[in-house]
Amino acid sequence: MKKTDHLLRNIVLVLILCLGALFFISPAKSDEADKLPVVIQELVKPPFVPRHNIVAKGGPKVIKVRMTLTEKVITIDEEGTKLRVFAFNDSIPGPLIVAHVDDYIELTLVSPKKNNFEHNIDFHASTGALGGGGLTHILPGEAVILRWKATKPGVFVYHCAPGGSMVPWHVVKGMNGAVMVLPRDGLKDRNGNPITYDKAYYIGEQDFYVPKDEYGRYKEYLHPGDGFSDVLKVMKTLTPTHVVFNGAVGSLEGKNALKSKVGESVMFIHAQSNRDTRPHLIGGHGDYVWPNGSFNDPPRTNLETWFVPGGAAGAMIYKFRQPGTYVYLNHNLIEAFILGAKAEVKVTGKWNDDLMKQIMKPTKIVE
Ligand SMILES: [Cu+2]
């Protein structure tokens, strides 16, 4: 071998060794988000929302949340109809997650061994991989962690989307919820003035499709996969047997009614992952409404009824001016009063005669 060849070979060898050493000793690639402060968000059962600030304090954060996937049988109406549902964190809808623009949401999704089906999660608020759906498929006995950046301010749904006809089946079994991403400097009206609220309620509207037997009674199925073809037939009619708030008929009425007082501003977040709806507050109005949920757009004002398309969430803020019981509902009144899509809001405080007064009590007339 020539002397120059030998030298060249040694140089190449040394170069390879140096590059190899660099590869092994260089630290693991870190992301911007790895350097941010971490907060753990305690998720709460709907219609309640996690504690949060309307205006962000400090810079962006990584918000860690954990959700367990549940498959179980629940009662969905006053007649005792039983339905096997799938749920995020054991509630229908799944819990609301709250963040500000530029925060990161880091979700740990857990499917206990006793589950029977594959699940995942598609966040409409996120960007890429089918909303995270492509990166979160898990089988019973598995967990996955997904982190995504909140770039768009607004209220957005999330739902399970395992593929094919499993997508609508899982969604109409209850696998959906919502995320609220607030602008860092809070909400603004069309003139740029801040809008605040004293409390927020989160209503998930759910359509169920329960098959009936030959006598017209709702059917119950013993095993987890049973009834899929029957349910598919009802689903194809596009006519739900139940349209409910928070998982069951009457779940936000009576002792579970929403509460407020005169002078309080309340935000109502309304999510529907599958079907169009038209929220309305009987006895009040939508002072500020973001019908499609985008906080980038100025809110519409003083609406009587607004529209939330299927696959979206909307937000409304109303300041209560009178005490009494209000009804917050889907103003397709058949869906509200016969299928179940209504809630009560019990408001305490002093009556304002100037806004309304009964001038004469119901009195017999002489004909
Ligand atoms: Cu699922």
**What's the pLDDT at 15?**
54
Catalytic residue, from 160, 180, 267, 316: name it. Answer: 160
Does 170 participate in catalysis according to the annotation? yes
Catalytic residue, from 102, 137, 198, 331: name it. Answer: 331
Report the alpha-carbon distance of residue 153 to residue 102 in Å, rounded.
Answer: 9
H or E stretch covering 336:
helix 333-337
**What's the pLDDT at 2?**
57
Report the alpha-carbon distance of residue 207 to residue 241 in Å, rounded.
Answer: 8
Nearest residue to 303 (alpha-carbon basis) of 322, 282, 325, 287: 287
Residues with Cβ within 8 Å of residue 75, at least 6 apart in sequence = 81, 82, 83, 248
Q: Is 293 helix (H, G, I), strand (E, B) or coil?
A: coil
Catalytic residue, from 34, 78, 297, 304: name it. Answer: 304
* 79 CA → ligand 1 middle, Å: 27
DSSP 255: G
**What's the pLDDT at 226?**
85
Diameter of the chain measured on Cα atoms:
128
Does 90 participate in catalysis according to the annotation? no
Q: What distance lies between CA 118 and its chain's CA centroid?
A: 20
**What's the pLDDT at 28?**
57
List Cα–Cα distances, 26 to 13, 23, 37, 190, in angstroms.
20, 6, 24, 51
**What's the pLDDT at 227?**
87
Tell me which long-range contacts 118-122 makes (C-beta under 8 A, separation of at least 24): 118/162, 118/166, 119/69, 119/86, 119/160, 119/162, 119/170, 119/175, 120/160, 120/161, 120/162, 121/88, 121/146, 121/158, 121/159, 121/160, 121/161, 122/158, 122/159, 122/160, 122/161
**What's the pLDDT at 223?**
86
* 87 CA → ligand 1 middle, Å: 8
31 token code pair: 């992301």
**What's the pLDDT at 59?**
97
Number of Cβ within a 10 Å radius of residue 136: 22
Report the alpha-carbon distance of residue 39 to residue 121 in Å, rounded.
Answer: 21
Residues in the chain predicted with pLDDT less than 70, given as ranges, are: 1-28
